Chains A and B, each alone.
Chain A
């Protein structure tokens, strides 16, 4: 418990200040404060209604899926099929950018290659199916197809560059211990 408080000190201080801000807002009734609280409430509800499930699935993946399988299909030797697997996995998900990081972490821990981790992040952020369906609805199929066609090579190139820059000795931090793995 103490370790938890120390490790998350800064974030907890921010939360504490925000709580004070909310209390002050309720007493003084200033409209800007209400606007901020309203914004926070809607994004918090959005996060909390999806996040726990994603984490439960991450936990189940951790205990059930052997490292060898993930490594074989998405590891260093996985080639083009590995890329396709990453893109398909990413497209099926939903949520904002930050919800992709824990998934990326568990995949990396299970042996997914550096390049494929960044392909996953790229695909997750740009061509998730729930997002594409909204986009098509509002902006039309032509726009979505064009954007997807251009985005695909861009994030693959970014992933290749990231592997070139940081592939050697690449490491992701364990968010629980703060250390390696």
Chain B
């Protein structure tokens, strides 16, 4: 499903020096597999997710998602690919403030070039328990509700890979498990591979596969 090969990524310091963030020989995720990625803050977890999603280009190496090598795609093609095949749940939800819950989900469908499926959007919001809140804008939603909209949005285009960057970090303790369960259940239902980044040991313990980025990232130090 996901295969990374010889990935290298460095950031430029203000003085022009290169700061290596990622140096990964190999990384795989099987179709439908749910796994957790852990590591100390700044070790490159978010950068890795962004490279997988095509948001950030690696300096070297290849990223294959379902046999498509996104590092060989042009930027616009990569954007379209990401819209159609990869879902992303952000730590800070990243909902668009001016749009309702339903519209945020519809927006994810807008950029695929396919027909916007309003029925699916409503179904997803119903699945995450927000059928009665579809017309509410993010400011009118609780933190937990916002994250659930983010989950629905990430699944809008039936991706085969979902990347979740600390999805429970900004959710209150009482709802963290709810969000996590929702993510796992919906990914399980839709046969979506899940790569979840977390700092929380309680979260990591719930997964069969837990990889520590520091174990296979040869860059050593970096910034997330």
A and B held together in a complex: no
B-binding residues in A (CB < 8 A): none
